[in-house]
């Protein structure tokens, strides 16, 4: 088990992992807890969505729960708790879902553990088994720990993506600012006129302003000056 969680930690920290990590978490859940199929579902504004699944079985199970309006996953999300089903054939809590899950999917046991994806979205890690009594109290704790680790990793990746995006945007802004300064000095124009030059050249050449700014910074001037004359004062 310690080796499994070490692998969980390694994969969740891996820079090559899927940005949302959902597929990775589903695979790891089967390794850590066992079972035949796994999925992650979420609910936002009453919309029940399958984020990832190891096969079509959990996706079909989610469709059944959406159709009948009840089931272990929905209950886990609604109650913000872990739900364990030892035998769907005899459990009386969700008869419509249980009947379909047994007859159509051949599933008998299920474990659903809820976690907070972000401030407005609840999710659940679901594990299915064709065997009865496939999960126990220990598995409930393990899947809860895995869910918490997954959420922490997802948030870290999401925040890193945002930080990288902001850094790129700031870098681009600085380059544009330097380019405008060069145009002001070389063309003898003010800031508004320099921006007009850069914008017009962008439109005329169908080139991004950021790319033209890089060009100005590299060359010290703007190409095709006759197409981007400074506005007359």
Given a cut of 50, whether residue 16 has pLDDT beyond it is: no
| DSSP code of residue 1 | -
pLDDT at 233: 36
Each residue of 204-214: pLDDT tens digit? 888 888 888 88
Res. 3 pLDDT band, cuts 50 70 90:
low
Higher pLDDT, 3 or 52: 52
What rounded mean pLDDT belongs to the chain?
A: 79
Each residue of 101-157: pLDDT tens digit? 999 999 999 999 887 766 556 778 999 999 999 999 888 888 887 776 666 666 665
Given a cut of 80, whether residue 215 has pLDDT beyond it is: yes
Given a cut of 50, whether residue 57 has pLDDT beyond it is: yes
Percent of the chain topping pLDDT 70? 72
- Supply the DSSP string of 88-123, one letter for each residue: TTT--S-HHHHHHIIIII---EEEEEEEEEETTEEE
Given a cut of 50, whether residue 231 has pLDDT beyond it is: no
Each residue of 147-190: pLDDT tens digit? 766 666 666 655 555 555 545 554 566 778 788 888 888 888 88
Q: Please state which of the ranges 9-13, 71-75, 114-118, 206-210 shows the lowest mean pLDDT.
A: 9-13
Distance CA 72, CA 76 (A): 6
CA distances (Å), 197 to each of 107, 155, 161, 169, 172, in order? 67, 42, 33, 21, 18
pLDDT at 227: 45
Given a cut of 70, whether residue 13 has pLDDT beyond it is: no
Calculate the CA 118 to chain-centre distance. 11
Mean pLDDT of 55-77: 92
Distance CA 73, CA 61 (A): 9
Higher pLDDT, 88 or 44: 88
**Residue (of 89, 137, 80) closest to 109 by Cα position:** 89
**Residue (of 13, 43, 7, 49) closest to 27 by Cα position:** 7
pLDDT at 121: 61
Given a cut of 90, whether residue 94 has pLDDT beyond it is: yes
Burial of 165 (0-12, 13-18, 19+ CB in 10 A): exposed
CA distances (Å), 231 to each of 126, 187, 193, in order? 64, 11, 6
**Angle at 213 (CA atoms; ends 176, 186), nearest 5 degrees:** 90
| DSSP code of residue 25 | H
Task: Copy the structure tokens of residue 83.
Answer: 């739900």
């Amino acid at each position: 088990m310690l080796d499994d969680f070490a692998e969980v930690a390694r994969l969740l920290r891996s820079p090559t992992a899927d940005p949302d990590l959902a597929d990775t978490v589903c695979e790891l859940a089967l390794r850590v807890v066992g079972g035949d199929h796994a999925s992650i579902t979420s609910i936002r504004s009453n919309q029940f969505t399958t984020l990832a699944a190891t096969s079509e079985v959990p996706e079909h199970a989610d469709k059944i729960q959406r159709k009948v309006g009840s089931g272990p996953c929905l209950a886990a999300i609604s109650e913000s708790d872990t739900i364990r089903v030892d035998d769907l054939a005899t459990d009386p809590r969700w008869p419509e879902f249980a009947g379909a899950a047994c007859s159509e999917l051949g599933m008998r046991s299920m474990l659903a553990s809820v976690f907070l994806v972000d401030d407005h979205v609840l999710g659940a890690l679901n594990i299915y088994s064709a065997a009865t009594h496939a999960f126990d109290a220990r598995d409930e704790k393990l899947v809860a720990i895995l869910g918490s680790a997954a959420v922490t990793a997802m948030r870290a990746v999401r925040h890193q993506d945002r930080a990288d995006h902001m850094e790129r945007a700031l870098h681009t802004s600085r380059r544009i600012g330097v380019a405008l300064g060069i145009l002001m000095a070389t063309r003898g124009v003010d800031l508004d006129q320099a921006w007009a030059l850069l914008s017009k050249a962008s439109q005329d050449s169908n080139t991004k302003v950021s790319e033209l700014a890089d060009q100005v910074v590299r060359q010290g001037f703007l190409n095709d000056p006759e197409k981007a004359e400074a506005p007359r004062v």
